[in-house]
């Protein structure tokens, strides 16, 4: 979130307040490194994996899981601070962390699958990387762009940034793409090879989690949290529980509509609950999609055997009834 979203920057709880000093340092450094150590080629050679889905649907866990496998390049929290030049950021990470056998820099860490509303801890944990995206896609209050705005995007620079991340590690890139999930056909068109992962969580638990995310982020359930669909201008007049219900339904519907324009070998939809129960099955499905695009992942799965889906009712019975009724109404 940046100054492009002033409402989202006001009223954060202490846990999520941004440092003005850090913001200034990031601006200074990234304003200077764009042309330093450019990527060795102009666009990704391997399929780019883009994680799509509603906020609080399991996108962060998917990102952490894929990053932990060792088969993919991803924007770590360290690398993401050099968002204007991912190739340079990757090389800096290799100096400071990947090639530091004695841990002199103190950046080695255990794999963690915890996060705070999408924010991970640790230098090598995956970042949401929104600063990178916002260099190229100028969003206003709502996460949709006009055809004219899309036509003006510097797609060459965007693709070179992804190529830099890929080239630094010589592995396929995996990153969150929810900031552009209202424009999936556009991404599908500009990427030679891509795999869109569409995470779908049980709508009740997804919306419930989104409701409590408002409380944690703002200490105010009436404040909007996460990206805004085009329907926001109508939803903002609804009570909070109906807002999150509409947000879940409209966003999920937009993703499904976008994927209708994508060929079968370039997307994979899966249930968060199924993934938690059997991550190996999702890995095998991803490997099959990647193979169809001429990239072969290791056959042996070496990741976690399962995760806790954490689908428990936290709302009161009356609130839960209100939420289920709203979900049904918006789904008609």
Contacts of 232-237 spanning 24+ positions with Cβ under 8 A: 232/141, 232/142, 233/142
**Amino acid 102: pLDDT:** 84
Q: 244, 188, 257: which is closest to 215 by C-alpha? A: 244
Judge whether residue 95 has pLDDT over 50. Answer: yes
Position 46 in a domain: yes
Position 3 in a domain: no
Higher pLDDT, 3 or 211: 211
The number of CA neighbours under 13 Å toward the Cβ of 254 is: 23
Q: Identify the band that residue 217 occupies on the pLDDT scale cut at 50, 70 and 90.
A: confident
Number of domains in the chain: 1
Q: Identify the band that residue 239 occupies on the pLDDT scale cut at 50, 70 and 90.
A: very high
Tokens of 331: 């789904």
Position 115 in a domain: yes
Query: Taking residues 111-128, what's their average pLDDT?
Result: 82
| Residue span of the structural domain in which 188 resides | 8-331
Task: Give percent of the chain above pLDDT 70.
Answer: 96
Mind listing the pLDDT tens digit for each residue in 263-299? 999 999 999 999 999 999 999 999 999 999 999 999 9
Query: Taking residues 251-273, what's their average pLDDT?
Result: 98
Query: Taking residues 152-156, what's their average pLDDT?
Result: 98
Residue listed under structure tokens 């339904």 = 249
Cα separation, 108 vs 301, in Å, equals: 23
Position 223 in a domain: yes
Mean of the per-residue pLDDT values for the chain?
93
Mind listing the pLDDT tens digit for each residue in 9-34? 567 777 777 788 888 999 999 999 99
Position 129 in a domain: yes
Position 2 in a domain: no
Query: Taking residues 128-136, what's their average pLDDT?
Result: 96
Position 59 in a domain: yes
Judge whether residue 3 has pLDDT over 70. Answer: no
Angle (CA) 33-109-161 rounded to 5° is: 25
Cα separation, 14 vs 110, in Å, equals: 26
Position 134 in a domain: yes
Judge whether residue 2 has pLDDT over 50. Answer: no
pTM for the complete prediction? 0.92
**Amino acid 110: pLDDT:** 66
Find the CATH number of the domain harbouring 108. 3.40.50
Tokens of 158: 């965007």
């Amino acid at each position: 979130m940046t100054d492009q979203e002033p409402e989202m920057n006001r009223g954060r709880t202490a846990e999520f307040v941004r440092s003005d000093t850090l913001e200034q340092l990031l601006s200074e450094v990234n304003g200077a490194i764009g042309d330093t150590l450019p990527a060795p080629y102009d666009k990704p050679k391997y399929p780019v994996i883009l994680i799509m889905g509603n906020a609080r649907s399991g996108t962060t866990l998917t990102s952490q899981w894929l990053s932990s496998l060792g088969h993919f390049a991803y924007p770590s929290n360290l690398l993401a601070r050099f968002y204007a030049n991912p190739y340079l950021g990757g090389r800096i990470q290799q100096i400071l962390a990947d090639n530091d056998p004695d841990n002199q820099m103190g950046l080695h860490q255990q794999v963690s699958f915890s996060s705070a509303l999408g924010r991970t801890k640790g230098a090598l944990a995956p970042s949401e990387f929104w600063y990178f995206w916002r260099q190229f896609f100028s969003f206003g209050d709502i996460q949709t762009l006009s055809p004219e705005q899309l036509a003006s995007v510097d797609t060459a620079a965007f693709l070179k940034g992804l190529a830099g991340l890929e080239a630094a590690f010589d592995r396929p890139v995996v990153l969150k793409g929810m900031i552009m999930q209202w424009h999936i056909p556009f991404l599908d068109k500009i990427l030679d090879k891509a795999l869109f992962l569409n995470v779908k969580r049980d709508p009740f638990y997804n919306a419930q989690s989104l409701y409590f995310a408002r409380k944690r982020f703002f200490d105010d359930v009436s404040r909007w949290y996460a990206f805004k669909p085009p329907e926001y201008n109508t939803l903002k007049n609804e009570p909070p529980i109906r807002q999150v219900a509409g947000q879940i339904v409209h966003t999920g519907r937009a993703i499904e509509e976008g994927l209708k324009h994508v060929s079968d070998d370039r997307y994979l939809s899966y249930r968060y609950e199924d993934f938690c129960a059997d991550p190996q099955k999702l890995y095998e499905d991803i490997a099959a999609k990647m193979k169809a695009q001429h990239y072969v992942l290791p056959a042996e799965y070496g990741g976690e055997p399962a995760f806790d889906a954490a689908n428990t009712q936290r709302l009161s019975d009356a609130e839960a009834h209100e939420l289920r009724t709203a979900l049904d109404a918006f789904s008609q």
